[in-house]
Structure 1
């Protein structure tokens, strides 16, 4: 009798937990949490991002253009860039409740092929913080046919140049919750070739936004 009741109780608890668990969603190109839910800023958008003092003024128009491209496609502002005052803390991206874009003059030697990196922190299915770091140690950046920065790494000063607007556009996609998407001309493709002016969202990117924004 007691064994039967215990089994029934365990089964009831399991059914309750299953009923309360979030239902998984189609990913739509977004990162998903352990329950299969898409992570995004939800109604907290637009996300406010600050520029670190390491970002030169010459790079700001390209960053603003990238944010405007996501806004134009979504039909509303998704990323609000604060130009001034610049964030003057250390160039050490970390979980601090601030969303910041950094231009890094140092980079891990075992990740030298990375042009940029975005760290995203979330609770449940809601993004709480995102930081973008741009690899100025290993890459030369240009915009509008003009070089903006030269790689700090002496061995990379004469290497190809990367369109900073295209790179930031990609990283902002990660800020919004999107994952890599190779093919179909997506700006979320894993790699950005030197000299590639990939500054327009593809249809697959527009469709992805419609799922969350």
Structure 2
């Protein structure tokens, strides 16, 4: 499959043209319109160096909210409110922590300064959201992502205290379920999210669900 180079025009190639690893295109910008179009099409940005890389892996790792698994130990933490939970009270701090957190097997971070600024803009416009777990008044863990229609696209999470990110994630999924969210995009496989109920589905099924829950792209 060809690797597409994006220019200033607002477009993306068909996701079916992605490489075997999911890489679809390179270049372009992180403007609001391009980012929103990408998510509507089932594409997300990841950086290597200073150039945006655009991905649409097949299969896609997702969580259907009603399939959320909560372990006995997490149920106990939730029952006794082990952490404080908030939404959208510390977006900048959450994305900054996600940028700094060490991840085994990764050399550096894909969350560049350009990414931080782009998603802060999306937050200001009401598209990007953060979820926070607090302990003793300090930010202990959290995550952020994009909400469009009935879909939440998870981007990154971090934890400074054991179970904090899991607590924030479970609490957020419960809140999103109450709001009518039907699908949570987890992008690529992690054992952590699989333990919470995430599963692989074909990319074609994923994009069909996006059209159903968001509408036609653009």
Instruction: Name the TM-score, length of structure 1 as normaliser.
Output: 0.28
TM-score, with structure 2 as normaliser: 0.27
- Structure possessing the higher radius of gyration over alpha carbons: 1
Name whichever structure is richer in strand by fraction.
2
